[in-house]
A and B are shown apart, each in its own frame.
Chain A
Amino acid sequence: MRGKPLATIISAGVSKFGRREGVYARELFAEAALSAFHRVEKLDPSKDIKAAFIGQMSEAYEHQAHTAPIAASWAGLFPAPAMRIENACASSGSALRCGIMAIMSGLYDIVLVGGVEKMTNQPTPEVTGILATASDYPFEQWNGMTFPGLFALMATAHMHEYGTTEEQMAAVAVKNHKNGALNPNAHMQKEVSMDEVLKSRLVSWPLKLYDCSLITDGASVVILTKPKLAKKLSDNYVHIIGTGQAQDTFCLHERESLTTVNAAKTAAQEAYKMADVRPKDINVAELHDCFTIAEIIGYEDLGFCRPGQGGKYVESGAPDLNGSMPVNTSGGLKSKGHPVGATGTAQIHELYLQLTDQADRRQVKDAKIGLAHNLGGSGATAVVHVLKGS
């Protein structure tokens, strides 16, 4: 199956990301679904879409479990089966794999995959606690760990081991805000300077405000079909040619190395092998920059640069919009925003736009192969997908 399409994306959509007061998660999800439906006029969604796989992390924001049938039916999918997939921040990346498997199994011809999170109706300390439930309760949460805290532990270790600097981490934020300023659906469409990043207040030393992703409301949707059917349904389709997913130890402290995410390496190897591509074949990538250090470690884990060289890599300009390997053209989790359950398929949405030449001012010229890297927790889950334009 090397290099062969596994499943094909015929459309993708997102809601506006941001502080979305006055709407429920299901309403955001319907907004993303509608924007995906508008791109495929030949599709009758409520009739043709046979199942939905929806990523969402927490019941705590809206006092609501059993969320998939709600989101699906608000999107007009009824009575199709709807499944919620929960893998923290990698929920919709994981949901995408379920969608691929559903298509490849032959059970369904067309499925919808997406994700949603409505986060801003809780104050920041509560959100910090809700997010922390994706870390180990009796050992990590009990010891006061938070998500900025866990990634800060990796940042401190990376700085100590490789001499990575706060300026290098800040460079990730500057780059991603620059891209996000070009994305009309991004939460914060605003450029920031290196100085502003470095002078911003501490969240979890050495991570500062601008090293952190945003607390965001948003939803994202992609529509998958069998490769053979794609042409009939859409003029703009993108093949998924590689998928990988793996685990690292659930607790950060159990890892031999605190400066790498083994799950991401394993998932990338699996996806690269399946897709028959190497890192240098990638033209555009969406990386899981929940914190700036995570993007730096991501470059290393995905083989864009050698271990320890991620800080130098961002300084080199390679991941800039006009660099050799544009990373997070959407603005990333940093500036586009990080509604955790929606993030995985929002990354796929951006790659869909890039690979079908619809990314407007963020368009990477001649982008053919795209990669998405989606982490859950401190990396206990990692999902990597490789996409190919048609």
Chain B
Amino acid sequence: MSELRDPTIEEFYKYCSERKLMAVRCIRCRQVMVPPRAICSNCRHSRVEWVELSQRGKLVTYTIVHVSPPQFKHMTPYAVGIVEMPEGVKIPSIIRTSRPEDLKIGMQLEADFSPRPQEGGWPNWPRYFFKETE
């Protein structure tokens, strides 16, 4: 399976192209990490494996960005937040919603993937984002 892929950021975004939200987990202490990395942030062990995350998580905090860098101008204002996954890792994300006023800490969100990368940037892989559950 996928454990053989290197624990790199580039691989994380390649997984997104397969519509998978992945993290790395420390073989020794089971710490789950995003961004992926080779050395465990908890116990410093240097063997980690890829694990697939659920596609649903809980919103733990959010904001609505009204002043943004030029690359994000077309979608401003937009919501960003931090989503806690059942596997015990949090991830930052844009939250696609037409009703930002309905966002609430604690609500369930689901992951989705967009095939087209942000213009002109590295890494040139698809992106993940979260949206309200259907």
Chain A residues with a Cβ under 8 A of chain B: 124-126, 128-129, 132, 136, 138-146, 148-149, 152-157, 160, 201-207, 249, 251-254, 258
CB atoms of B9 and A124 under 8 A apart = no
CB atoms of B69 and A140 under 8 A apart = no
CB atoms of B65 and A144 under 8 A apart = yes
**Chain A residues positioned under 8 Å from B123 (CB to CB):** 138
CB atoms of B60 and A144 under 8 A apart = no
**Chain B residues positioned under 8 Å from A252 (CB to CB):** 82, 92
Q: Once the chains are docked, how many angstroms separate the CA of A252 from the CA of B62?
A: 12
Which residues, 64 to 108 on B, are CB-close (under 8 Å) to A? 64-73, 75, 77-78, 80-82, 90-94, 105
For the residues of A in contact with B, the DSSP-based class is: helix
Q: Which residue of B lies closest to A140 (CB)?
A: B92
Q: How far is the CB of A197 from chain B (nearest CB, A)?
A: 16
Cross-chain pairs A/B with CB under 8 angstroms, 12 sampled = A125-B69, A128-B68, A132-B69, A139-B34, A142-B127, A143-B129, A144-B80, A156-B105, A157-B105, A205-B63, A205-B66, A258-B60
Chain B residues with a Cβ under 8 A of chain A: 9, 13, 33-35, 41, 60-73, 75, 77-78, 80-82, 90-94, 105, 118, 121, 123, 127, 129
Q: Once the chains are docked, how many angstroms separate the CA of A126 from the CA of B72?
A: 11
Q: How far is the CB of B40 from chain A (nearest CB, A)?
A: 13
CB atoms of B63 and A156 under 8 A apart = yes
Assess A138 versus B35: contact at CB under 8 Å? Given A125-B73, A249-B41: yes
CB atoms of B41 and A148 under 8 A apart = no
CB atoms of B105 and A138 under 8 A apart = no
Assess A202 versus B66: contact at CB under 8 Å? Given A140-B92, A144-B72, A252-B92: yes
Q: How far is the CB of B58 from chain A (nearest CB, A)?
A: 13
**Chain A residues positioned under 8 Å from B81 (CB to CB):** 153
Residue from B60, B65, B105 having most chain A Cβ neighbours under 10 A: B65
CB atoms of B61 and A153 under 8 A apart = yes
Q: How far is the CB of A342 from chain B (nearest CB, A)?
A: 22
**Chain B residues positioned under 8 Å from A149 (CB to CB):** 63, 65, 80
Q: How far is the CB of B83 from chain A (nearest CB, A)?
A: 8
**Chain B residues positioned under 8 Å from A155 (CB to CB):** 63
One of A125, A140, A142 near B118 (C-beta < 8 A): A142
**Chain B residues positioned under 8 Å from A207 (CB to CB):** 63
One of B13, B67, B72, B91 near A203 (C-beta < 8 A): B67
One of A141, A148, A253, A258 near B67 (C-beta < 8 A): A148
CB atoms of B78 and A152 under 8 A apart = no
CB atoms of A136 and B65 under 8 A apart = no
